[in-house]
Amino acid sequence: MDRDEFMRENYESLKSSARSVSQNSEMAEELLHYALDQFLHKPNVDEIIDSGGAQFYIVRIMLNSWRSTTSPFYREYRKPFDNIEDHSYLTYEEDQNEEVEELAAEVLVHLNNLSWFEKELIKVYIEEDHNMSSLSRATKIPRTTISLTINRVRTHIKNKLLK
């Protein structure tokens, strides 16, 4: 079977698969066309079609492209735009700014009530922009201890703020 014949016979089925993979997203056809482009540029595309595994192969490309946050499809089509400046802060009214400041002050009060270890760990975690693994490497504290401590502090602060 040649490529054109394969496309005529299977396009609607693949389109349905793209809708399913993307959970009926408006980008379903973009996903399908991206996967088809990837598939048709494989050096052994004719062998894959002749073996009967082409549909499976294309659906796998769609699944991997849709689910992976590191795929070129994600970066090109799905990733939120980072280069658009956020001007939402210009629309804050004065009372909203006051609410944010009050909330920040309340969080600081609750942070000051923590043990010295929890305070210092959170301080280094936030100020030096660490993730839990990098904080573990920097402090030589086991990652599990860091994770448990930070999660306990987050829960504590949330509970205090929701009261």
CATH code, domain carrying 145: 1.10.10
Q: pLDDT tens-digit profile of 104-126?
A: 888 888 888 888 888 888 888 88
Looking at the structure, tell me whether residues 111 and 64 fall in a common domain. Answer: no
Question: Which of 40, 62, 78 finishes a domain?
Answer: 78
Q: What does the pLDDT average to over 75-84?
A: 66
- pLDDT score at 91: 55
Looking at the structure, tell me whether residues 69 and 111 fall in a common domain. Answer: no
Q: What does the pLDDT average to over 5-13?
A: 92
- pLDDT score at 51: 92
- pLDDT score at 1: 80
Asked if pLDDT for residue 89 goes beyond 80, the answer is: no
Q: What does the pLDDT average to over 32-60?
A: 92
Supply the range of the domain harboring residue 132. 106-162
Asked if pLDDT for residue 12 goes beyond 90, the answer is: yes
- pLDDT score at 86: 55
159 within 8 A of 113, measured Cβ to Cβ: no
- pLDDT score at 14: 93
Asked if pLDDT for residue 85 goes beyond 80, the answer is: no
Residue 85 covered by a domain: no
The tokens for 83 are 């280069």
Looking at the structure, tell me whether residues 74 and 17 fall in a common domain. Answer: yes
Asked if pLDDT for residue 13 goes beyond 90, the answer is: yes
Residue 112 covered by a domain: yes
Residue 34 covered by a domain: yes
Q: What does the pLDDT average to over 56-83?
A: 83
Sort 22 into a burial class: Cβ within 10 Å, 0-12 / 13-18 / 19+. buried
Residue 94 covered by a domain: no
Whole-number mean pLDDT of the chain? 84
How many folded domains does the chain comprise? 2
CA distance 144 to 36: 43
Residue 96 covered by a domain: no
15 within 8 A of 57, measured Cβ to Cβ: no
Residue type, 101: E
- pLDDT score at 97: 72
